[in-house]
Amino acid sequence: MATTKRDYYEVLGVGRSASADEIRRAYRRLALQYHPDRNPSADASEKFKEAQEAYEVLSDPERRAQYDRFGHLGEGGFGGLGANGFGIEDIFESFFGAAAGTGRRQRVQRGADLRLDLQLSFEESIFGTEKDVTVPKHETCERCNGRGIEPGSTPVPCPTCGGTGEIRRAHQSIFGQFVNVSVCSRCRGEGQLVFDPCTECHGQGVVRRQKTLRVTVPAGVSDGTQLRLSGEGEPGPNGGPPGHLYVVLHVQPHRFFRRQGNDLLLELPINVAQAALGAEVEVPLLEGDTVPLDIPAGTQSGRVLRIRGKGVPVLQGSGRGDLLVRVKVMVPTELTREQRELFRKLAATFGDEVSPQENKGFFEKVKDAFGV
């Protein structure tokens, strides 16, 4: 799936600014190297397919631009939202293209894509959520079904083309008569003219509406992740399939937790006695619960302890990363009279040694190091 797919540029071994020619040469080289007919090794056919797919996208300027902008998400999107690989509209378009069964002469185009920003809390990005978003977009006018014609009114045949939608001009040449066919510019190939535009959409066929959509955010998304909602973009002109809606996620930072890949980082303050003697402490989890954690005796500030399976759920996968607890030993800034007394006694046993296990004090070691 999208997360495990290699970057197409990396597959071909070219830079992001590679020219069409460089891309073609790189693909040719790999195809020769990995073609299953030439290369019997086990992963050759896999490599060959990978190169083929990368070349297919990067050799098409439109698909390359899309890939540069959205990465693999631009082609697919998330399971459940955009299905895998290509959306049904893409397949429709690639198979039926201009024809699209309308019998008309103009090319059927997919509607424009829309982009929307969505703010998420840190917790929502980790555990997933559902959000309602309001999208201002054009919708096919219900009154006229997108035709732009007032219901009940009859369009009249275009006088310029006689209702055929095309203009034929005959040319004589030395080879005989040629007929040049072009789309009628007056009716734009419709073959008919409308004198009563729809009162709702003023003949546009579309109306502007605020549409509320429910967006399912999967667990484990990060800042900048884009979700594709297939067919929720602008409607396609002339009955074409609608564009897509891309929802760009923005994740707010958390006060205590930070994210590092699929792991969560948490700084946990402990006191000097807990660090020296060891202790069992409760560690807060992002989901609101706590888990016990053993601080070993002699723990230094900055030591990282791992709690397995309490990190970020793997996007589109199973399992979770770990919670990494960075211990911070806090030196007390205020002491009660009793604590001060105890620290004095402790200080007397330490002398000027930093760590009682080691037989030399810090200053002696420094002196040794400098040979003074």
Interacting residue ranges for Zn ion, rule: CB under 5 A = 141, 143-144, 158, 160-161, 184, 186-187, 198, 200-201
C-alpha distances in angstroms, 17 versus 10, 22, 55, 57, 63? Answer: 12, 10, 14, 15, 15
Alpha helices in 110-197 (DSSP H): 122-127
Comparison of 22 and 166: residue with beta carbon closer to Zn ion: 166
- Min dist CB 238 to Zn ion, Å, is 15
In which residue are the tokens 């096919």 written? Answer: 140
Phi, psi dihedral angles at 87 (to 5 degrees):
-75, 165
- Min dist CB 182 to Zn ion, Å, is 11
Comparison of 123 and 200: residue with beta carbon closer to Zn ion: 200
Helices (H) and strands (E) in the chain, counts: 9, 15
Comparison of 150 and 322: residue with beta carbon closer to Zn ion: 150
Comparison of 136 and 162: residue with beta carbon closer to Zn ion: 162
Task: Report which residue type is found at 283.
Answer: V
At 120, which helix (H) or strand (E)?
Answer: strand 114-120
Comparison of 242 and 321: residue with beta carbon closer to Zn ion: 242
At 30, which helix (H) or strand (E)?
Answer: helix 20-34
Contact 281, 290 (CB under 8 A): no
- Min dist CB 151 to Zn ion, Å, is 9
| Residue 158, both tokens | 């275009």
- Min dist CB 149 to Zn ion, Å, is 8
Alpha helices in 59-151 (DSSP H): 61-70, 88-96, 122-127
| Residue 58, both tokens | 């990067």
Task: Report which residue type is found at 7.
Answer: D
Classify residue 145 as left (phi > 0), alpha (psi -120 to 50) or beta.
left
- Min dist CB 145 to Zn ion, Å, is 8
- Min dist CB 186 to Zn ion, Å, is 5
Comparison of 156 and 304: residue with beta carbon closer to Zn ion: 156
Task: For strands 245-251 and 257-260, give the pairing.
Answer: unpaired
Cα–Cα dist 120/255, whole Å: 14
Comparison of 89 and 234: residue with beta carbon closer to Zn ion: 234
- Min dist CB 99 to Zn ion, Å, is 20
- Min dist CB 240 to Zn ion, Å, is 17
| Residue 367, both tokens | 């002196």
Comparison of 11 and 141: residue with beta carbon closer to Zn ion: 141
